[in-house]
Structures are given as structure tokens and as C-alpha cells.
Amino acid sequence: MTKADTNSAVFGQLQQDLLIVGGGIMGLWAAYYAAQAGLKTLLVERGTIGSSTSGGLLGALMPHALDRWNDKKQFQFDALMSLEGEIRQVEAISGLQAGYRRSGRLVPLAKPHLRAIADEQMGSASTHWTTYFSGHRPGHYSWQTRDTPFAPDWPVASACLHGCTFDTLSARVSPRQLIAVLRAVLEQSPLVTLREHAELETLNPAEGKAVLAGGDAVHFGHSILAAGVRAFPLLDAMQPGLKPSGTAVKGQAALLQANIDPNWPILFDRGLYIVPHENGSVAIGSTSEVEFADPGSTDGKLDDLLDEACALSPLLRGAPVIERWAGLRPKAIGRDPMVGHHPEFPRLSLLTGGFKVSFGLAHRLAQSVVESLTGTSAISLPDAFRVEAHLDKMRG
């Protein structure tokens, strides 16, 4: 009997092999890999699947800068490279489309020193942006400097006084369509149960028991806390006396009907994202607010962001606003994702804190957690992502 078989046998003695708390992008990917591993899984979500931050608008999948390469940047690169194949697989199972396209990214260079930095980084792409994933060859993706915009007013020429950078690695996905794809796949699995409007009242990993609102009890072999910003108070209640494990950061975004070619690259300029999607729609984002009165409302900060977007690309002026959106993103105390086994609770793993990088990393992070349960993990997490690194900061 293999280690994976042993774990499955132990799990099989209980009502649920795995309890996943949270029905956002992290929890859905975890349930997907759990089903592949043969684990009987219950996913509980206090609202509806994907109704919180994962139901946003942007979907930008962009790599880190090439300077000062480290294990976190390598992990993100590997995740971005593997994501396309994973999406194509779940699309084939579900028969739905996730709105994924590797369209690239363009960043205007408004100052001469930025051009100098960009020129230095061109060579780094051939060194670091190499992959041996099936279907790709080393050096296939590039980071280039160019003197002109991608197209007239994309972006406006005055924003590119010293040129711009263009990379062919960046991509985008429709967050809501990907959520729908994963949900459809999980609903087909006999091993996975999705339960919406299921508020978690208590989680006791020591006993392997959770209680839901209404009194329903769930017994589990292992649990994964993937509840976004709600994961922090749940975790903090288990560890009294420590600093808060994380905080919520509000983001606002909008969706325009601007009739921009969906093949055109993402525009990114000092925190402003302009992301062309299918059918001519364009997502604009995002704010990062640590102080706010209403997490679900939009206000003048979003209006300012739309003005900035129209200044960067006049093609957006006058475009109808399809939707205004606001939500809370989970920022762990260590700023990086908080992932893996909790050293003090053997039946608890954490999968939260993705902040702005969740959609690009969620599948890889979830896979690492699930594989650690079955003893088959081949994915090495950056030290800064591990739960122990965050606990050190909570104790400090």
C-alpha cells in the first residue's frame, strides 16, 4: 500500500475526507485537485460560489519584474506557464469557456531612467522566462522595449515619451467565467459536494469537526481554510494572543463596453490596469484601500480611476459603463500568500492571502496543498508563502 493509499484509507473511515471552507478561486481549485486524488470532499461557502472577491472583473495574469529574480518570481512564472494547460483541461471537461487569452502586456515608460531599466531587463527574459512544460520551448516568451505604442492611442503617445515595454507572457482570463467552468467540473464529480449559503460557526481541526449555522456537524479527515478575508478571523480565533493573521484591502473596478480588440495587450501603468476581454469589453482597475466605510460600494475613487484610464487611452472615452464593482481582497500579515499545513493543527491547511495574485497562482497553490495530503507533492513553495513564515510575524 502506497502512502497515498494509506492516507485515503484513513480518510475513508470518516464522514468527509476533506472539508474546504470557501468557494472562491482557491477553494474551487483545491476541490478540483482533491477529486483527482480520490478524496471525498465537501466545499462550504457562506454565500454563493464565487460571490466574493473571486467574482471580480480584472483577470490580469501578469509576471513580476525580471530584476532581482528569486524563488517567488520563479514560482509565479511556473504557475503562469502551467495555468493555460489546466484551464484548457477544465474547459474540455465542462464544455464552457474561461475567457483565457495570452494577449501580452504593455507598460508605458514616462521617464528616461525607466527606459534604461527596461533595456537592462530584456536579456533577463531569455534567462528566466524559460520553461520545459509540454508545448512550450525555452525562450518562447519575450520582454521587449519599443519606441511606439502598440496601436494608435493604445496607449496615448504622450505616455510613451521614452517608449514602452511589451511582454508576450502576460495573459488574461474572465474571473467569472473561470469560476463557472470550475463549478461545472466539480458538479460533475461524484466525489465533490458544493454547499452554498453554509455559514461556518466553528472549526475544530483538533477534533476534525466543524459546525455550520443551523447545527449541522461535519466530520473530516483534513480541512483547508480558503475563505479569503474571512479566513483571518477564523484562524485568529484558534490562536489567541497573536497578532492578526491578515487584513482586508478594498478594491474597486469597472467594466466598459469599449469595443477594443480582445487580442490587444493589457495596459499597465503604476497600478492602473486596462484589460481587454472578449466581445469588446474592457476591465478597469483597481484601487487598494486599507480604510473604507462600505466594502461593497463604489465611489469617487473609481471615477478617478476611470479618468486615468481614459487619459492613458482616449479610445475609452465615452464608452458605456457596464458594471461598477467593489470587493475585499485578503492580504496576509506576511503580504505573500499563506499556504500549507498549519504546524500546530495537523488536520488544518491554509490557502488564502493571495491579494492581487490569486488567479495566477491559485491552481498551483491548491495543488501543492492537496498533494501534501496524499504524500505526492512535487511542488516546492517559496519559504515566504509557508504558514510558518506568517506565524513568525504574528508572534513578533
Run of H or E including 223: strand 217-225
| Alpha-carbon gap, residue 356 to 159, rounded angstroms | 25
* Per-position DSSP letters for 328-345, written without gaps between them: EEEEETTSS-EEEEETTE
Whether 156 and 260 map to the same domain: the answer is yes
Whether 131 and 205 map to the same domain: the answer is no
User: Is residue 72, in this structure, part of any structural domain at all?
Assistant: no
The two beta strands, 41-44 and 192-195, are parallel
What's the total number of domains in the chain?
2
User: Is residue 223, in this structure, part of any structural domain at all?
Assistant: yes
Whether 261 and 159 map to the same domain: the answer is yes
User: Is residue 13, in this structure, part of any structural domain at all?
Assistant: yes
Domain span at 212: 3-55+177-246+334-395
Whether 167 and 252 map to the same domain: the answer is yes
Q: Does residue 394 contact residue 239 with C-beta atoms inside 8 Å?
A: yes
User: Is residue 308, in this structure, part of any structural domain at all?
Assistant: yes
Q: What string of pLDDT tens digits covers the 396 residues of the chain?
A: 223 333 333 333 348 999 999 999 999 999 999 999 999 999 999 999 998 899 999 999 999 888 888 999 999 999 999 999 999 999 999 999 999 999 999 999 988 888 888 887 777 777 788 754 444 444 467 888 999 999 999 999 999 999 999 999 999 999 999 999 999 999 999 999 999 999 999 999 999 999 999 889 999 999 999 999 999 999 999 999 999 999 999 999 999 999 999 999 999 999 999 999 999 999 999 999 999 999 999 999 999 999 999 999 999 999 999 999 999 999 999 889 999 999 999 999 999 998 888 899 999 999 999 999 998 877 889 999 999 999 999 998
Domain boundary among 331, 366, 382: 331
How many residues can be counted in the chain? 396
CATH label of the domain that carries residue 340: 3.50.50.60
Q: Give residue 79's Cα distance to chain centre.
A: 10
Whether 309 and 356 map to the same domain: the answer is no
| Alpha-carbon gap, residue 37 to 289, rounded angstroms | 39
Q: What is the pTM of this model?
A: 0.92
Q: What are phi and psi of 331, to 5 degrees?
A: -115, 110
DSSP 8-state secondary structure symbol assigned to residue 133:
S
User: Is residue 368, in this structure, part of any structural domain at all?
Assistant: yes
User: Is residue 371, in this structure, part of any structural domain at all?
Assistant: yes
CATH label of the domain that carries residue 312: 3.30.9.10
- Percent of residues in the chain assigned helix, strand, coil, to nearest 5: 35, 25, 40
